[in-house]
Every structure is written in C-alpha cells, then in structure tokens.
C-alpha cells in the first residue's frame, strides 16, 4: 500500500507544482517538460531492464552452479548463527542465507552489476518462505534495508569521477564515505530490529556489529597508509580479483560434485532472463513517477526551501549546495550521479560541496529503485515498514555524511 501512496504523491505533487508555475509565473514549458519526462523515463526504465538481462543471466547462471556445487549451502551453515538473529523467519542453514551473503558482499565491494542479480536470487528464495505472497515478510524487509543502506567498502566509481573532474587527490573521500555508509547501515539494522522486535542486545549480534566496526577501522587504517594512486589501484583490483575468484570457486565446486556445470549455468541464465522481463512494469512505474516530479521543479523547490530554512535558523548553509545529490539518491542512482558530477563541475571537485556530494553518493543506495526491482520481481505490493526503515537509514547516512564532511574538510 505504501508504494501506491508514494507513486500517487509524485504525480499529484508534480501536477500542483506545474499549475502554480503556469498560473503564477507564466511558465508555459512546464507541462511539455513533464510529458517529455514520461516518455524519456519509461524508455530509460526499459533500457535499464534490457541492460540487466545479460547481467542477470550471467550471475544467476553462476549462482545456479554454486548452488548445485554446495557453495551456497556451505555459506549458509557458516553464517547461520548471525543470520538466524537478523532473519528469524528463515530456517537454520537454509540456502537463501548464502544468497543474502553473496549480495551483501558484492555491495560492499561496489560491484553493483553483480549485487542486483544476487539480490534478486535471494529475494526469490525468501518469497518461497513467505506465507503472504503479496506482502513483504520481515526477512525481506531486513534484506531490503541492508541493500538501501548501501554499505560500500571500496567506492571505486566515485573516485574515478573525482579523478575525471580534476580532483587533486581523488581518494580523499574514501574514509568519509566508509564512515558514512557504516553509520547508515548500522542505523538501518537498529531501526528495522526495533520495528520487528528483534533483541539487539543478543551476544551474537553485539559481537557481529562490534566485529564489523573493528573491520571497518582496520580497512581505514590500511588504506590511509597508501598514496592516492595505489589506493585506486588496490581498490579496483581487489574488487575484480575477488569477483573472478568467486566465479572460479563456484565452477570448481560444481566439478568436484560432478555437476554438469554448463547445463547448470544455462538453467540459471534462463531464470535471469525471465526475472528481467518481470521487473519492467514495476521499474517503468517508479521511474516515471520520479521523472514527472523532477521535471515539475519539485526537487528545486525542496532544495530552495531547505536553504531558506537553514539560513533562517542561523546555521551554516554551505552544505545545502550538495543536497540535490542526497535527495536524488533514494529516487534514482543515475540522477544522483548526475547531481554529484554537476556539484563538482559547479563548485569544484575539491570544494566542500563537491566532496560532500561524493560522500552523499557513496553513503546510501537507491531506495525506491531497489524497492521497485526487488519487490517487483516477486510480485509484492504491500511493503509494510520497508519504505520507512529504508528512508530512515538514508536519513542517518545523510546526517552522518554532513557531520563527517565538516570534520574532515
């Protein structure tokens, strides 16, 4: 039901803003711009789905090999103590636990193309356990929040964009992004646990979250000892080497179990194609709603209103210049990326606003895109508290990003 209200809100808000601009400001271009955006964003949605088809086929094929080779089951047994606490609805040692871990690992390494198909595979596994097929289960909501909070260890693409924009040290946002995304993920877990009444003071959860904090601190320490060139080189190569090792590991496991690796891959690849087709209507609906709101000028009004409010309260408003990236990120990954590049172009890659826009881009993920794709792939219409928890995790990431950017820069 939440998706229904959100989708309608985009259209009605766009219409009201467009009427005000036409009647009071004589802006005759606003309605043509809105209609053009409907065609453009629906085309983009189809192209995104088409682009996902090959990637989904590849990774769901690889996952099928790993599943038959026993790798996914092995991961499930290792992670069972922790995941039983975070996902109490999932039976102990269930194969979907391994799929969830593979998705989270891909996100942490900044491997978006691999993370999405792995996430869809995990969502399908949880849907098999879901008693109410049109309503999101607690496990599915927790999984979605872990994705929207966007824990990323190696933000390679952002560092590349900074280098292209002429930043003196493209990697200077690495530690701030790592800290901001960690706080976003931690907030997402805590908020969702409170909603679902999961005991946060369980010994296993405390040790896991504490271990994550120590691991993040270790990564920060290790990368801080590298120069910018070496940091980019290590970050890029570690992610890609690990990804290729996963493929090789899955194939070796299949051979060891005497699995027909090729046929298993084809079987999984067929599922990837079917999944890509299923998500097209959901993606078109969500991206068109976002597009008309943006074309109406609604996003500009929000930014200008925030600027006025911050000034009225007597606070420093320098960070507001980067706010469009933060507001766009839950709605559209490509839109937020464009806002980030625009901020660096306008203010400078090494300006406070330019750096903050990069931290915003890396601290959270595209909540509504993930919602449309993941829930749409399994036909879920009632999202319960998924949107609330996802957006609160995003808000925590935004607040953390602002504070961390002031601390560092």
The model carries a pTM of: 0.75
pLDDT tens for 327-381 read 878 877 766 776 787 778 778 888 998 999 999 988 887 788 788 888 888 888 8
Residue that has been written with the tokens 């609160």 in this structure: 392
Listed in sequence order, the residues at least 6 apart from 58 whose beta carbon sits closer than 8 Å to its beta carbon are: 117, 269, 272
**Above 50 in pLDDT, residue 1?**
no
Phi then psi dihedrals of residue 90, to 5 deg: -85, 125
**Least confident piece of the model among 36-40, 48-52, 85-89, 303-307:** 48-52
Mean pLDDT of 210-215: 81
Coil, strand or helix: which one is 407?
helix
Predicted local confidence at residue 191, as pLDDT: 93
DSSP 140-164: HHHHHHHHHTT--S--HHHHHHHHH
Q: Looking at mean pLDDT, say which of 138-142, 226-230, 310-314, 362-366 comes out highest.
A: 138-142
**Above 70 in pLDDT, residue 148?**
yes
3-state secondary structure 253-272: HHHHCCCCHHHHHHHHHHHH
pLDDT tens for 276-301 read 777 788 778 877 887 888 889 887 88
CA dist 115 and 105 (Å) reads 8
- The encoded tokens of residue 31 equal 């309605």
Phi then psi dihedrals of residue 18, to 5 deg: -65, -40
Cβ neighbours, 10 Å, residue 130: 19
**Least confident piece of the model among 211-215, 226-230, 290-294, 386-390:** 226-230
């Amino acid at each position: 039901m939440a998706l229904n209200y959100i989708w309608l809100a985009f259209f009605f808000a766009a219409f009201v803003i467009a009427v005000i601009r036409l009647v009071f400001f004589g802006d005759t271009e606003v309605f043509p711009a809105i209609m053009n955006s409907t065609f453009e964003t629906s085309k983009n949605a189809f192209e995104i789905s088409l682009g996902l088809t090959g990637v989904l086929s590849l990774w769901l094929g690889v996952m099928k090999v790993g599943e038959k080779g026993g790798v996914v089951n092995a991961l499930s047994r290792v992670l069972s103590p922790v995941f039983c606490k975070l996902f109490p609805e999932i039976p102990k040692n269930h194969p979907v636990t391994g799929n969830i871990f593979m998705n989270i690992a891909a996100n942490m390494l900044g491997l978006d193309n691999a993370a999405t198909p792995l996430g869809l595979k995990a969502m399908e596994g949880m849907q098999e356990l879901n008693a109410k097929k049109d309503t999101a289960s607690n496990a599915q909501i927790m999984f979605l929040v872990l994705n929207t909070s966007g824990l990323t260890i190696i933000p390679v693409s952002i560092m590349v964009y900074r280098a292209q924009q002429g930043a003196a040290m493209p990697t200077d946002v690495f530690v701030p992004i790592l800290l901001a995304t960690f706080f976003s993920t931690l907030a997402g877990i805590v908020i969702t646990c409170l909603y679902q009444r999961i005991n946060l003071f369980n010994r296993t959860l405390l040790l896991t979250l504490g271990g994550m904090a120590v691991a993040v601190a270790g990564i920060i320490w290790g990368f801080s000892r590298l120069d910018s060139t070496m940091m980019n080189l290590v970050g890029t190569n570690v992610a890609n080497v690990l990804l290729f090792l996963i493929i090789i590991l899955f194939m070796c496991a299949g051979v060891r179990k005497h699995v027909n690796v090729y046929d298993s891959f084809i079987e999984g690849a067929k599922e990837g194609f079917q999944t890509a087709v299923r998500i097209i209507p959901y993606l078109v609906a969500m991206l068109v709603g976002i597009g008309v709101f943006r074309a109406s000028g609604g996003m500009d009004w929000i930014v200008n209103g925030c600027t006025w409010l911050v000034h009225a309260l007597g606070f420093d408003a320098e960070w507001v210049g980067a706010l469009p990236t933060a507001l766009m990120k839950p709605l559209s990954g490509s839109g937020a990326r464009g806002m980030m590049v625009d901020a660096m172009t306008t203010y400078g890659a090494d300006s406070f606003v330019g750096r903050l826009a990069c931290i915003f881009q890396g601290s959270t993920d595209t909540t509504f895109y993930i919602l449309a794709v993941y829930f749409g792939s399994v036909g879920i219409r009632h999202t319960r508290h998924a949107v609330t928890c996802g957006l609160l995790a995003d808000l925590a990431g935004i607040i953390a990003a602002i504070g961390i950017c002031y601390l560092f820069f």
